[in-house]
């Protein structure tokens, strides 16, 4: 339970790799902007995986990585984030 608590906050960490102009846009995103924002799950998962490789032993980052990668997936498209 503690690992979920510590890792859940990291679910959107990949948004640091999305330009502010897209994240803070007040109106509807264009198709291209939407494609960019959908990358935040992969960006976040990859970042947490990189950190995880530098830590010895079990870490809450393993769960955080899985949450980051999968928190927008739906049951019909397992490889596609569902922003």
pTM of this prediction? Answer: 0.74
Considering only CA atoms, which of 21, 23, 27 is closest in space to residue 12?
23
Q: What is the structure's pLDDT at 57?
A: 77
Distance CA 59, CA 31 (A): 37
pLDDT (average), residues 61-74: 81
Q: Token pair for residue 34?
A: 């939407």
Kindly give the residue spans of alpha helices, DSSP state H, lying in the chain. 2-8, 20-23, 31-38, 40-52, 60-70
Residue 69 makes CB contacts below 8 A (sequence gap 6+) with 41, 42, 44, 45
Q: What is the structure's pLDDT at 10?
A: 87
For 4-63, what is each residue's pLDDT tens digit?
Answer: 888 888 889 999 999 999 999 999 999 999 999 999 999 999 998 999 888 887 788 888
């Amino acid at each position: 339970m503690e690992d979920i608590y510590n890792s859940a906050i990291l679910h959107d960490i990949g948004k640091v790799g999305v330009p502010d102009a897209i994240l803070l846009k007040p109106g509807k995103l264009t198709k291209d902007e939407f494609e960019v924002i959908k990358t935040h799950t992969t960006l976040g998962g990859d970042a947490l995986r990189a950190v995880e490789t530098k830590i010895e032993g079990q870490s809450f980052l393993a769960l955080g990585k899985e949450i980051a990668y999968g928190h927008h997936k739906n049951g019909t498209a397992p490889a596609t984030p569902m922003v």
